[in-house]
Amino acid sequence: MALPQWVFPFGLLIFLTVGCSGRPFYPLPSKAGHENKQPLQTFRPYNIAHRGSNGEIPEETAAAYMRAIEEGADFIESDILSSKDGVLICFHDVTLDDTTDVAKHKHFANRKRTYEVQGVNVTGFFTVDFTLKELKSLRVNQRYPFRDQQYNGKFSIITFEEFIDIALDASRVVGIYPEIKNPVLINQHVKWPGGQKFEDKFVETLKKYGYQGSYLSKHWMKQPVFIQSFAPTSLVYISNLTDLPKILLIDDVTVPTQDTNQSFWEITSDPYLDFIKNYVVGIGPWKDTVVPVINNYLQEPTDLVARAHAHNLQAAFTISRSGHPWRITTKRVHLIYCMKSH
């Protein structure tokens, strides 16, 4: 069954409240039951909170996700990585350097490593070299200096299970949009009992919390979820483990797939789209591959979305990560036109 015609990231279709003083500090979920929850609205575009309300609160923290739900998010989105001891966590980068205070923890100074990540040597403090207890001792900061800095150092890294709890604890139905992040790196450095892989633990966690069913099925409507990944082999692999809907993420034209080393042109070709539609319900292309930008001017939309639709695939993508929706008004108009072309 096809996805709705429009799927936009949260923060692009709302206006953030000006001024953040007086915002509450958010505790983890109460686990209180909510009877007769307001259902997910499927007749309109989904609002997807990309890393939570990260324009005002540090990304992928409990507070950022709870704030996004307050602001009306239909789905909260997260990147799933692993700790050294195999606990799945919510964190975007494979290294901790840019968005935590790890550099202030002098007792971790000897943890800096250099690993190959997607064909490039990366040096930093990797999540896979820290236990969950050690990761919890760190505090998360804003990624960019133009974002609100007042909550820097207030919140810790959360686990995948805590992330799920936040969605399930909401007073209305809130879906989750987790990404299987850098599975090649994770499977190289983290080992689970019984020969399990990162993907096995990921799906096992979703099943533990009752996530099941194909898109718009009765079970799915109660606990909506889309599984996303830049790694095609991970999505094919988990297709044998769950019928939950999946999205193939597609990077910029210069970036090959992290697991199969296929080019952008190969994975967006008609034969490949015809193949991958057996495993996913849609693609998540990088915005510039949908509406190119040359010298800061938007160009005519490409045919990628139209070709995806022709293969019964839908498109969901992030337009801006700035936290400033007024900066992307023109892009939004072009993308609405592009998505309505089906």
- Residue 114: exposure state from Cβ atoms within 10 A (0-12, 13-18, ≥19): exposed
Block residue for tokens 């040597």: 121
Cβ atoms of 170 and 34 closer than 8 Å: yes
Q: Is the C-alpha dihedral spanning 109, 155, 149, 326 positive or negative?
A: positive
Cβ atoms of 75 and 46 closer than 8 Å: yes
How far apart are alpha carbons 331 and 249 in whole angstroms?
A: 20
Cβ atoms of 246 and 239 closer than 8 Å: yes
Separation in Å, CA 286 to CA 106, 148, 183, 289: 38, 26, 19, 6
How far apart are alpha carbons 271 and 277 in whole angstroms?
A: 10
Q: Is 50 a catalytic residue?
A: yes
Tally the residues of the chain: 342
Block residue for tokens 């992040």: 181
List 92, 105, 309, 311, catalytic entry: 92
Q: φ and ψ at 299, to 5 degrees?
A: -100, 180
Cβ atoms of 225 and 11 closer than 8 Å: no
List 34, 50, 324, 334, catalytic entry: 50
First to last CA, the chain: 15
Cβ atoms of 51 and 68 closer than 8 Å: no
Q: Is 92 a catalytic residue?
A: yes
For residue 244, give the 3-state DSSP assignment: coil
How far apart are alpha carbons 99 and 43 in whole angstroms?
A: 36
The residues carrying an active-site annotation are: 50, 92
